[in-house]
Amino acid sequence: MKQIGYFISFLIVYLFYFPFKVLPYKWCLAYGIFLAKLIYPLDKKHRKVAADNIRFAFPAYTEVQIHNLVKAHYRHLGILLAHTLWAPRMTRKWLDKNLIIDSESLQIEEETKKQGVGVILISGHFGTWEILVQFLGIRMKGGGIYKKVRNPFVDQLLRRMRSKNGVVLVPVQESTQVIKLLKQGYWIGFGADQNAGKAGIFVPFMNRQASTFVGPALMAYLTGAKMLYYSVLAGPDGKVIVRVKDLGFVDKKLYPSKDDVIRHYTELWTKTLEEEVKLFPEQYFWVHRRWRTQPQAIENNQ
């Protein structure tokens, strides 16, 4: 009976996905924005979450500015939806035509490729991250961390979509496989800015403490891989903007303990993300509860 329910859910998802599979790229963007406009007046819950998050992040903003940013954010969510479902159709030719990357970022990327090292490619729920998955497969020897979806039919569809351009997908539980790939020179993407609950460490992010996964810094510590921060942004006229920051290699002599070193690099990439969010605030994923876990709440439960 459960399998029948899963299959019916899959059919609904597939019918929703199908237009993005066949429509021209620009039409997909327009359709995604149209859907977001339909959802915006109905989605009071997530509008409130976004507004509350923005109040903390930008305390100097007026209520009018907050309202305008939430509205601009929902428009971006429409673009994000379109990019997510259209992304498997991306080709190198399309990327060459639509990619905007500044000379400094391109130089960092090219120099890193020449080094032939494994790369911890750190990003967040910022910009258009599903485009980054295909970008990794086309431009690099790429891999990504993958969390399985409970519905096996939807899970299979998502894995097929994400691996379309050759990205190696690694289940989140298989850290040993990540280590192996990094040592083989793969570029492994980490979207690590989700609320980590009790599993994370607290670091400052947008004026609040945020429970943060240490996976990227820990993997860099264990493997000697290089850390690069990537912003992949929705640009004008359907373009994709890529910005790269070189976070370097872990210096194990920086602090006396392993935990202190990992904390330093976790704070480093989180601060880098924060700086990018301040430049393109409408493209951060304000509707997720990034700051749900707070230090006091954990202390009270102990």
Query: Mind listing the pLDDT tens digit of every residue in the chain (302 residues)?
Result: 677 877 788 888 888 889 999 999 999 999 999 999 999 999 999 999 999 999 999 999 999 999 999 999 999 999 999 999 999 999 999 999 999 999 999 999 999 999 999 999 999 999 998 899 899 889 998 998 887 888 888 888 888 888 888 888 888 777 789 999 999 999 999 988 999 999 999 999 999 999 999 999 999 999 999 999 999 999 999 999 999 999 999 999 999 999 999 999 999 999 999 999 999 999 999 999 999 999 875 555 55
Residue ranges per domain, the chain? 1-283
Q: Please give the sequence-ordered ranges of beta strands (E in DSSP) within the chain, or none if there are none.
A: 99-101, 119-123, 142-146, 168-171, 187-191, 201-205, 208-212, 226-234, 240-249
Measuring CA to CA, how many Å separate 131 from each of 20, 161, 164? 14, 11, 12
Q: Which pLDDT score, from 0 to 100, does residue 236 have?
A: 95
CA atoms within a 13 Å half-sphere pointing along the CA-CB vector of 39? 18
- Angstrom distance (rounded) from CA 212 to CA 119: 20
Predicted confidence at residue 298, as pLDDT, reads 56
Distance of alpha carbon 268 from alpha carbon 261, whole angstroms: 11
pTM of the model: 0.92
What was the pLDDT predicted at 153?
A: 82
209, 200 in Cβ contact below 8 A?
Answer: no
Q: What kind and span of H or E run contains 279?
A: helix 258-279
pLDDT value of position 300: 53
Query: 187 has which bridge partners?
Result: 119, 142
